[in-house]
């Protein structure tokens, strides 16, 4: 168990414990308003989340919704860059990579869940099974014109280090696209600790 003493968004130590969810203390930063889990389990405990065979099993309606959202995101990206090599970090079953491949991108992924990685590989995507840190160690010279990190950074214990690794894999003039739930929104404020995304230890950061 690691005790986080500083906000992962702005590095401030000022704040107060706002919620206790499933035995995890969630602190609210006094400087930027982000929330974060104070008592983070060890790496092996976190990895077990993604080894579950049912992790990220989606019904048909959820898949359709995600495909529509990925299509929208890719459309925005295409307004700024031409197809090249894309790396989707936390690619799950490869739904975003499916859209990217259809648009002419050469597709790569990184995924912690062996089951989901195998499903993405079965559709023709090159997928590394493991963490971003392990991928960077084994592929230090790999570069991509587009890196996507969609609803992943809230899972990461050290977001700054994670961002630095992402940026190191970008080619010159490359594009990094990140999405994460918005905890300054009205819904989050109304629901408080009942927010559906407030699920430690799977989610550790709530920006």
Question: Can you give the pLDDT at residue 114?
Answer: 93
Question: Can you give the pLDDT at residue 49?
Answer: 86
Question: How many other CB atoms are there within 10 angstroms of residue 32's CB atom?
Answer: 15
Question: Can you give the pLDDT at residue 44?
Answer: 83
- Residues in the chain predicted with pLDDT less than 70, given as ranges, are none
Mean pLDDT, rounded, of the chain: 93
Question: Can you give the pLDDT at residue 51?
Answer: 82
Contacts of 93 (CB under 8 A, 6+ apart): 56, 116, 119, 120
Contacts of 82 (CB under 8 A, 6+ apart): 145
- The 3-state secondary structure of 95-123, one letter per residue: HHHHHHHHCCCEEEEEECCHHHHHHHHCC
Query: What 3-state DSSP class applies to 199?
Result: coil
Distance CA 117, CA 187 (A): 32
* 6 CA to centre of own chain: 20
Question: Can you give the pLDDT at residue 43?
Answer: 84
Question: Can you give the pLDDT at residue 54?
Answer: 79
- For the chain, helix, strand, coil in percent to 5 are 35, 25, 40
Report residue 25 as tokens: 């203390």
Distance CA 34, CA 56 (A): 25
Question: Can you give the pLDDT at residue 204?
Answer: 96
């Amino acid at each position: 168990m690691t005790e986080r003493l500083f906000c992962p968004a702005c590095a401030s130590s000022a704040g107060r414990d706002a919620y206790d969810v499933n035995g995890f203390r969630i602190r609210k930063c006094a400087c930027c308003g982000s929330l974060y889990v104070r008592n983070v389990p060890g790496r092996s405990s976190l990895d077990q989340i993604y080894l579950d065979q049912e992790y990220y099993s989606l019904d048909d309606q959820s898949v359709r919704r995600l495909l529509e959202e990925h299509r929208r995101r890719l459309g925005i990206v295409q307004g700024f860059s031409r197809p090249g090599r894309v790396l989707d970090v936390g690619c799950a079953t490869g739904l975003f990579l499916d859209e990217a491949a259809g648009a002419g991108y050469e597709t790569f992924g990184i995924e912690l869940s062996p089951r989901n990685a195998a499903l993405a590989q079965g559709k023709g995507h090159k997928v590394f099974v493991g963490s971003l840190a392990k991928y960077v160690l084994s592929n230090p010279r790999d570069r991509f014109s587009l890196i996507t990190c969609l609803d992943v950074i809230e899972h990461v214990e050290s977001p700054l280090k994670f961002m630095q690794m992402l940026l190191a894999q970008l080619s010159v003039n490359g594009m990094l696209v990140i999405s994460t739930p918005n905890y300054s929104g009205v819904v989050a404020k109304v629901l408080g600790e009942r927010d559906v995304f407030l699920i430690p230890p799977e989610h550790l950061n709530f920006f």
